[in-house]
Amino acid sequence: MESRQEQVRSEKDQKRQMLTIAPQAPEKEMPEIVVQEPEPMHEKNPSRPVGDAEGELAILLKQIKGYFHQRTRNLDLEALQFSLTHLFSHVDLLYRQALPELNKWTSYEQNTATGDLLQRQKVWLQLQAINRALDRMAPVCHLLSDVIECLLDTLDHEELWLRAIDEEETRLLEQVKSPALSRPIVPTPRPSERPELIAPEGWEQAVAALMDRLLIWQEQHHKLVPFEQHFATPILLACNLSELDSAFAILLDSAGAIFGDILPNFRLVRPENHEEISALLFDLMQQSDQMLAQFETTLEPLTRLIRHFALVNESN
């Protein structure tokens, strides 16, 4: 018995010695391994993190498309989703990146005598980024206004549209009648494309994500230095820079109306209430046209700014 205890004690001592053996401490401290916490996930859709505004917008648009199920062409519905998705993305790029980045390069003319070429080039690049975002939003707004006009026309003539569909299906059935069986061969019905209505809490979560993004746009916009203060030189003050400040403020208001007011209000109407749906679509088209008007306002002063910095860069 004693020999057995001595053997166990000897094994424990060996293990203790093995655990205490370690290489010499390194001269430099090893970097700390930081474990990033995963982003919170949706309860009903774990594949998408909470606060994913683009994903939440897709949920809203999918349900809005269901209001026009079998009432209009599928291409119109795809164009509606495409235009609103890309408009949201470009507005986000403009107010979260392009304009704030320009704000970092202030008082550029103070060092003109020293030939600060790098700073002027940075300003020129940011002006190009802003102009590029506006150029991409313009055709998207044109598409949005056009497709909304088609949807409004569909709602106004729904009876004619549905009757045309019925007549077309009747003609197809007559063409595929079998002479042997003397009865029509009914084609396989198309699967329903109407999406399931999301639960109220899911809709509220989607709207909350959009509102959070709108607040970020507003916060970033409030931090911007006005263009007249940013480019406070006699040459550039003649470019009507105040029109840029006004245009970007109106663009933000229109984007807020579209994504923070009009689209969320579709939840309050029933699919059969054509008058209220038409009113929301009309408001949406007005905001889109308002944005198009602001694009035209920014064209001249922004082009003159870009040309000014391009000439400065070429002369150095």
More confident residue, 126 or 28: 126
For the cut 80, the answer to whether the pLDDT of residue 132 exceeds it is yes
In a domain, 13, yes or no: no
Q: How far apart are CA 42 and CA 64, in angstroms?
A: 21
The whole-number average pLDDT for the span 146-161 is: 79
Instruction: Write the burial class of residue 305 (CB in 10 Å: 0-12 exposed, 13-18 middle, 19+ buried).
Output: buried
Q: How many CA atoms lie within 13 A of 275 on its CB side?
A: 0
Q: How many CB atoms lie within 10 A of CB 275?
A: 8
* Dihedral angle, C-alpha 274, 280, 284, 290, nearest 10 °: 120
Choose the weakest-confidence range: 156-160, 177-181, 244-248, 276-280. 177-181
More confident residue, 272 or 251: 251
**pLDDT at position 130:** 96
The whole-number average pLDDT for the span 108-118 is: 55
**pLDDT at position 11:** 54
Report which listed range, 17-31, 100-114, 195-209, is most confident.
195-209
The whole-number average pLDDT for the span 182-186 is: 42
Task: Give the residue carrying structure tokens 């009747």.
Answer: 170
Q: How does pLDDT run across 218-249, given as a tens digit for each residue?
A: 999 999 999 888 887 777 767 788 899 999 99
Q: How far apart are CA 180 and CA 237, in angstroms?
A: 84
The whole-number average pLDDT for the span 253-278 is: 90
In a domain, 99, yes or no: yes
In a domain, 11, yes or no: no
Where does the pLDDT of residue 38 fall: very low under 50, low under 70, confident under 90, or very high at 90 and above? very low
**pLDDT at position 308:** 86
Q: How many CA atoms lie within 13 A of 128 on its CB side?
A: 10
> Of all residues in the chain, what percent carry a pLDDT higher than 70?
65
Q: What pTM does this model have?
A: 0.71
Where does the pLDDT of residue 312 fall: very low under 50, low under 70, confident under 90, or very high at 90 and above? low
Domain, as residue range, for 120: 69-157+199-315
**pLDDT at position 46:** 39
More confident residue, 89 or 115: 89
Report the domain count for the chain. Answer: 1
For the cut 90, the answer to whether the pLDDT of residue 42 exceeds it is no
In a domain, 6, yes or no: no
In a domain, 112, yes or no: yes
In a domain, 203, yes or no: yes
